[in-house]
Copies of this chain bind each other. A is one copy, B any other.
């Protein structure tokens, strides 16, 4: 068992029940360690709508293929997720596992197969017997409880060192609704997306098409703004499910409805909370790095610059070494290929202005920056000086821990 990340929150958060959502998590043997949970099931009330976003990998896993296929129905009744095995690059055998799992879940829950979502995370390329998950489902379904957030969050972990969950409330009109979810991810984390699974639920009543639009906007500001190691998994999945079983609220017809504004903001906040928990659990992470890029020619350009800085091994090792090496930031901005002019670049670290108009400020003294670098939260500010585009991205430092974890994951 890996040591808990020093950036982990002190405890698992209180997550309220969400009407229409029941969960279960337990050990069925996909992970070798006895008692370690590796299968999760969520049952959703009839009428639940769903939105989803998936890995952009050209070699996605069998479960991702399935979910993408059924997403257009906009309805979900069950989510079945296993850890310990990614069911990726498993050819026909992989498709068969999905088929058997979906068939069994649909039968137990009493719904169409097209309302059963699946996800798998773990080792790539090692098939499991087709009915391995299916045969464990009856006892999982008997276990389902509205309060089992912790069990579910535990059951989807791989190299994670802590379970990750968050909850918020929002107002739609005068009605309070709840949004809550959990996520996993620690390595192979990069935008679009990461070996990252995320399941978020609300009791609000929102059409699937509106939900999709809200999810996309929120993912763009959260999961697509984090990186641990620039590696993209074959299995990334984020689902947002709306059961419609909360208190009655004004009807929703468009993502732009004025009374949805608060809800949209809360979903974004929640996803940022979950996504940064993934970074806090970045393999070997000792520091959370927040990078604010401003003054780029567009928001897209700002995000690209931010992620290039966030992915630079030289920047990440400098932070690990608590070294205020802003020269590497210039290097990383330069390599992005986005419009930038070294004579307009301004850089801050820990809020301390370091460079201005392409040179070190005359009044710059390194001490307060060095002090800032010793903390667990490092802030980097980069102003490109060309436009109004901005973006915030998150990453972690690159340490000996990352090498140790990844040089012997499988063995």
Contact = CB atoms under 8 A, between A and B. Distances in A.
Interface stretch (A170-178, A259-267, A311-319): A311-319
Contacts of A332: 231
A334 to B, nearest CB: 3
A250 interface: no
The DSSP consensus for interface residues of chain A is loop
Contact of A89 (B59, B229, B355, B410): B355
Which are the 4 A-B pairs with shortest beta-carbon distances? A124-B327, A321-B407, A59-B334, A57-B334
Interface of A: 55-60, 86, 88-93, 123-127, 187-188, 190, 229-234, 311-314, 317-318, 320-321, 323, 325-328, 330-343, 345, 355, 357-360, 398-400, 402-404, 406-411
Given A230-B313, A313-B402, A403-B398, A325 B59 contact: no
Nearest to A403: B400
Given A232-B331, A232-B334, A330-B125, A358 B317 contact: no
A343 B65 CA distance: 13
Contact of A314 (B188, B326, B340, B355): B188
Contacts of A188: 314, 331
Nearest to A229: B313
Nearest to A356: B91
A83 to B, nearest CB: 15
Contact of A60 (B90, B334, B399): B334
A95 to B, nearest CB: 10
Contact of A407 (B55, B57, B234, B323): B323
Contacts of A411: 321, 323
A407 B318 contact: yes
Given A60-B334, A91-B358, A330-B234, A408 B321 contact: yes
Contacts of A398: 403
A272 B408 CA distance: 32
A256 B207 CA distance: 64
Contacts of A321: 406-409, 411
A190 B314 CA distance: 12
B358 A406 contact: no
A325 B58 CA distance: 19
A128 to B, nearest CB: 13
Contacts of A88: 327, 330-331, 342
A339 B126 CA distance: 24
B399 A57 contact: no
B403 A399 contact: yes
A187 B314 contact: yes
A337 B59 CA distance: 9
Given A59-B341, A232-B334, A323-B408, 12 more contacts: A57-B334, A60-B334, A89-B355, A90-B359, A125-B359, A229-B313, A233-B331, A318-B410, A321-B406, A323-B411, A398-B403, A399-B403
Nearest to A324: B410
Nearest to A384: B58
Contact of A57 (B317, B335, B406): B335
Contact of A58 (B124, B125, B334, B403): B334
Contacts of A355: 89, 125
Contact of A318 (B232, B404, B406): B406
Contacts of A337: 56, 58
A402 to B, nearest CB: 7
A143 B230 CA distance: 48
A343 B91 contact: yes
A410 B325 contact: yes
Contacts of A57: 331, 334-335
A312 B231 contact: yes
Nearest to A359: B91
Nearest to A190: B335
Nearest to A336: B58
